[in-house]
Amino acid sequence: MRLGLDIGGTKIDAVALDADDAVLARVRIPTGFGPAAVLGNAQSAAIQAADAAGVGPASFASLGIGIPGLVDATGGLVRHAVNLGVDELDLGPELASRLGLPVFVENDVNAASLGAYHLLGLDTSAAYLNLGTGLAAGFVLGGELWRGARGTAGEIGHIPVDPAGEICACGQRGCLETVASGGWLARKWGSAAPFPVLDVFDRADDGDARAIALRDELVGGAAAAVRILVLTVDVDVVVIGGGLSNLGARLLDRVATALDDQARDSQFLASLELSSRVRLVPLDQPIAAIGAALAGRPAGESIRI
Amino acid sequence: MRLGLDIGGTKIDAVALDADDAVLARVRIPTGFGPAAVLGNAQSAAIQAADAAGVGPASFASLGIGIPGLVDATGGLVRHAVNLGVDELDLGPELASRLGLPVFVENDVNAASLGAYHLLGLDTSAAYLNLGTGLAAGFVLGGELWRGARGTAGEIGHIPVDPAGEICACGQRGCLETVASGGWLARKWGSAAPFPVLDVFDRADDGDARAIALRDELVGGAAAAVRILVLTVDVDVVVIGGGLSNLGARLLDRVATALDDQARDSQFLASLELSSRVRLVPLDQPIAAIGAALAGRPAGESIRI
C-alpha cells in the first residue's frame, strides 16, 4: 500500500492506494502558503488519507509527493515553488521523519506523467504534455521517469518557435508557451470570464472571429508541442493533460486535425503518424496523486491499476 | 575484439578494435552504389580490417555497422538509404551469414553518438548533434542509445523555428535544418568553392557582410539546436559532430558565445548553463566506425577506450 500527494497551488490531493494500486481513499485539503503551512498540511493530508483508508501511515510502504518547483528527487529538496510561497523546503526528509516512512518527492509534471502512463496502461514510451497556465512535458521512457541529467527535462514551453513572437516571461521571444498556454490565451483574450480558455472555445463555436483565431493559435501551438516531442524523443504516445485537458474532445480532436493538416504538406510528417499518437489524460482520476504514489515504487516492479 | 563499419555516401570506414577497445587496424574502401555493391563492399571492408589486424573475421565477437537511412536495429534491415542507392537491404542477416558472426546495424548518427560518448569518456547523458549536409541528433541516455519508440529519435532538423522561413525539403516551412545545415548554407551562399561552409567562414573573417550574416545565421541555428536538445531531454552534454565540426574552435567558440548571448536576456536560460554543456567531437578518430563496433556490446559491459 502506498500514499500519494499532489500539492497544488490551492489544494493538496491525497490518495491511498491498496496493494493492487487501486484507490482506497482520497482526501482534499487546502495547501496553505509558505513552507511551514505546506509542510504541516502535507503531513495532515497523508494522515487523513491513511485514516480514510482505515489504517495508520505506518501501514504504507511509501509516500510519494508531486509538487511544483525545482525538485531534487534524490534528496527530497524543493526550491522555487513560487505559487506555494516556498523558496526552499526540505520536504522529503522532514515528512519522512514526521511520518516514519520513506518519502519520494517529484516535480508535479513528472508525477502526473507517471500517473497518466500507468492509468492509460501504456508500456512503451510516452510524453505527458501539460497544457495549463504554462506548458511543460514529462517523459516515461522504458517504463521509468526520465528527469534529465539535471532534473529539468521537458521544459519545451521555452523553445522559441517564432522570431517575431511575443516576449516570454523567461526573457526569450516567441516561446512555445506564448502561443500554447492557458495563461497567454487568457491574457490575449482579455475577458473577465472565470474560465477564459473555455470562454474562447465557446465564443469560437459561436463564430467570433477573434476567438477562432486565438483558439486556432492555441491548437496549432499544442500540435507544435506534439511535433517537437516526437521529432526529438520519438515517444510512442503523447498524453495531453493539465487544466486545458478538461476541454476533452473539443481540444483533442482539433489538435489531431491540426496534426493531420500539417502532415498533408509533408510526407515526412505523415510517416510519423502524429495524430494517432495523441491521447487525452483520464479526466476522472487524480492522476498526479496516483503518479506520486507510484513514484516510490522500485524500478521494474509490475504495476496493476 | 570487435569490428565496426561506418558506411558513408562515398567510402566505408572500417575498424578492428582489440579487447580493450583500442583501434588495432583501420581500412577505407569505396562504398559503391546499389544494394549488391554496398553489401559486397561492406563484406570486403570487414574482411580487410580483420586481415589488417592480423586475424580472420571469426576471431571477432561482433560486427557493428553505422549506415544512413531508416534502420531497424532489431532486424538489421536498412530502408531509404537514398545516397547509397539502397531502397531496402537485409544488411544485418546477409552479412551475418556471409561472415559467420553477429552483426548489429545502427543508423549512422546513432553509431556516431555512441562513438563520441565513449571517446569523450562521458558517463551521464549526452546528445550528439550532427551538423553536416543536414541536421540531426542522437542520444545516449543512462549509457545506452535511445533510438526512440519507432527508431526516429533525434530528427530535430525538422522542427519548424520560423513561420516566415524557407520551405524545407520535408514540406514544412522554417525547419531548423534550413538555418543550421551545410546543405542550406551552401545553397544560400551559391559559390562554387569546394568547401562552401569553409568559404563562408573565411570570407566572414575577411569582413564580407553577406558571409557574416550567413555564418551568424548558421551559428544561431546550431545554438537553437543545443537549446532544443537541453530544454527537451536535459542531456548533460551536447557533442557537436558531423562535417561542420571540422571547423573546430571556429564553430564551437561561436556557438558557445551565441548561447551566452541568449542567456544574457534570460535568467532561465542562464540557469541551464548551456554553453558549458557543448563539446566538440574528437576530430582525429573514426568515431562512427568505433561507435558502430561498440553497438554490438552487451548493455552494461564496461567500456575502456
**What was the pLDDT predicted at A58?**
84
Contact B171, A267 (CB under 8 A): yes
Does residue B299 sit at the A interface (CB-CB below 8 Å)?
A: no
Q: Which of B146, B153, B234 is opposite residue A152, by nearest beta carbon?
A: B234
C-beta atoms of A170 and B227 within 8 A = no
Distance (Å) from the C-alpha of residue B154 to the closest C-alpha of chain A?
A: 5
Q: Which of A151, A152, A236 is opposite residue B150, by nearest beta carbon?
A: A236
Does residue A161 sit at the B interface (CB-CB below 8 Å)?
A: yes
C-beta atoms of A163 and B159 within 8 A = no
Contact B240, B136 (CB under 8 A): no
C-beta atoms of B265 and A149 within 8 A = no
Contact B23, B286 (CB under 8 A): yes
pLDDT for B227 beyond 50: yes
The full 3-state SS of chain B, as one line of letters, equals CEEEEEECCCEEEEEEECCCCCEEEEEEEECCCCHHHHHHHHHHHHHHHHHHCCCCHHHCCEEEEEECCEEECCCCEEEEEHHHCEEEECHHHHHHHHHCCCEEEEEHHHHHHHHHHHHCCCCCCEEEEEECCCEEEEEEECCEEECCCCCCCCCHHHCECCCCCCECCCCCECEHHHCCCHHHHHHHHCCCCCCHHHHHHHHHHCCCHHHHHHHHHHHHHHHHHHHHHHHHHCCCEEEEECHHHHHCHHHHHHHHHHHHHHHHCCHHHHHHCHHHHEEECCCCCCHHHHHHHHHCCCCCCCCCC
**What was the pLDDT predicted at A254?**
98
Measured distance CA(A135)–CA(A129) in Å, rounded: 7
Q: Which of B146, B147, B231 is opposite residue A158, by nearest beta carbon?
A: B231
Locate B115 and state its grid cell. 562513438
3-state secondary structure of A227: helix
Taking CB atoms and an 8 Å cutoff, what residues of chain B touch A234?
Answer: 147-155
C-beta atoms of A268 and B148 within 8 A = no
B275-292 tens-digit pLDDT: 999 999 999 899 999 999
Percentage above 90 pLDDT, chain A? 88
Distance (Å) from the C-alpha of residue A266 to the closest C-alpha of chain B?
A: 4
Taking CB atoms and an 8 Å cutoff, what residues of chain A touch B272?
Answer: 150, 152
Measured distance CA(A62)–CA(A104) in Å, rounded: 8
Does residue B231 sit at the A interface (CB-CB below 8 Å)?
A: yes
Taking CB atoms and an 8 Å cutoff, what residues of chain B touch A172?
Answer: 262, 265-266, 268-269
Does residue A260 sit at the B interface (CB-CB below 8 Å)?
A: no
Q: Which residue is listed with cell 549512422?
A: B108
Q: Which of A212-216, A244-248, B7-11, B57-61 has the lowest mean pLDDT?
A: B57-61
**What was the pLDDT predicted at A82?**
87
Contact A21, A303 (CB under 8 A): yes
CATH number attached to the domain at A2-114+285-295? 3.30.420.40
ipTM: 0.94
Locate B134 and state its grid cell. 543536414
Would you kindly state where each structural domain of chain A is located, as residue ranges? 2-114+285-295, 122-280
Identical fold for domains B2-107+287-295 and B121-280, yes or no, is yes
Q: Over chain B, what is the mean pLDDT?
A: 94
C-beta atoms of A149 and B269 within 8 A = no
Parallel, antiparallel or unpaired: strands B278-280 and A237-241: unpaired
pLDDT for A104 beyond 80: yes
Does residue A162 sit at the B interface (CB-CB below 8 Å)?
A: yes
Contact A195, A182 (CB under 8 A): no
Averaged pLDDT for residues A107-116: 96
Q: Which of A147, A228, A267 is opposite residue B232, by nearest beta carbon?
A: A228
E-only strand ranges, A37-125: 62-67, 70-72, 77-81, 86-89, 103-107
Taking CB atoms and an 8 Å cutoff, what residues of chain A touch B175?
Answer: none
**What was the pLDDT predicted at B23?**
94
Locate A219 and state its grid cell. 491548437
Measured distance CA(A35)–CA(A77) in Å, rounded: 12
pLDDT for A277 beyond 60: yes
Output DSSP code: residue A296: T
Q: Provide the CATH topology of domain B2-107+287-295.
A: Nucleotidyltransferase; domain 5 (3.30.420)
pLDDT for A300 beyond 90: no
Measured distance CA(A281)–CA(A301) in Å, rounded: 23
**What was the pLDDT predicted at A297?**
66
C-beta atoms of B266 and A164 within 8 A = no
Nearest to A157 by CA among A139, A181, A140: A181
Measured distance CA(A268)–CA(B203) in Å, rounded: 35
Confidence of residue A298 (pLDDT cuts 50, 70, 90): low
Alpha-carbon A299 to chain mean position:
21
Alpha-carbon Rg for chain A, nearest whole angstrom, is 19
Does residue A163 sit at the B interface (CB-CB below 8 Å)?
A: yes
Confidence of residue B302 (pLDDT cuts 50, 70, 90): very low
Does residue A159 sit at the B interface (CB-CB below 8 Å)?
A: yes
Amino acid code (one letter) for B50? A
Superfamily (CATH H level) for A122-280: ATPase, nucleotide binding domain (3.30.420.40)
Output DSSP code: residue A173: B
Residues pairing with B36 in the sheet: none
3-state secondary structure of A87: strand
Alpha-carbon Rg for chain B, nearest whole angstrom, is 19
- Residue B123: closest C-alpha in chain A: A149
Residues pairing with B67 in the sheet: B107
3-state secondary structure of A43: helix
Taking CB atoms and an 8 Å cutoff, what residues of chain B touch A265?
Answer: 171-172
Tell me the HSE value of A165 on the side-chain side, using a 13 A CA sphere: 26
Q: Over chain A, what is the mean pLDDT?
A: 94
A56-74 tens-digit pLDDT: 888 999 999 999 988 988 8
**What was the pLDDT predicted at A301?**
45
Does residue A299 sit at the B interface (CB-CB below 8 Å)?
A: no
3-state secondary structure of A279: strand
Nearest to A231 by CA among A175, A272, A179: A272
Q: Which residue is listed with cell 531508416?
A: B70
Measured distance CA(B184)–CA(B168) in Å, rounded: 9
A197-207 tens-digit pLDDT: 999 999 999 99
**What was the pLDDT predicted at B192?**
86
Taking CB atoms and an 8 Å cutoff, what residues of chain B touch A148?
Answer: 125, 233-235
206-225 in chain A: CB under 8 A from chain B = 224
Distance (Å) from the C-alpha of residue B14 to the closest C-alpha of chain A?
A: 29
**What was the pLDDT predicted at B56?**
85
3-state secondary structure of A129: strand
Alpha-carbon A298 to chain mean position:
22
B180-221 tens-digit pLDDT: 999 999 999 998 899 999 999 999 999 999 999 999 999 999
Q: How far is CA A197 from CA A37, A200, B131, in A?
A: 31, 5, 41
pLDDT for B12 beyond 80: yes
Q: Does domain B121-280 correspond to CATH entry 3.30.420.40?
A: yes
Taking CB atoms and an 8 Å cutoff, what residues of chain A touch B149?
Answer: 124-125, 234-236
Parallel, antiparallel or unpaired: strands B103-107 and B62-67: parallel
B86-139 tens-digit pLDDT: 999 999 999 999 999 999 999 999 999 999 999 999 998 999 999 999 999 999
Distance (Å) from the C-alpha of residue A70 to the closest C-alpha of chain B?
A: 12
Measured distance CA(B107)–CA(A214) in Å, rounded: 41
Number of neighbouring beta carbons within 10 Å of residue A140: 25
Does residue B172 sit at the A interface (CB-CB below 8 Å)?
A: yes
A198-248 tens-digit pLDDT: 999 999 999 999 999 999 999 999 999 999 999 999 999 999 999 999 999
Q: Which of A125, A154, A161 is opposite residue B160, by nearest beta carbon?
A: A161
Q: Which of A149, A224, A231 is opposite residue B236, by nearest beta carbon?
A: A149
Confidence of residue B73 (pLDDT cuts 50, 70, 90): confident
A119-146 tens-digit pLDDT: 999 998 999 999 999 999 999 998 999 9
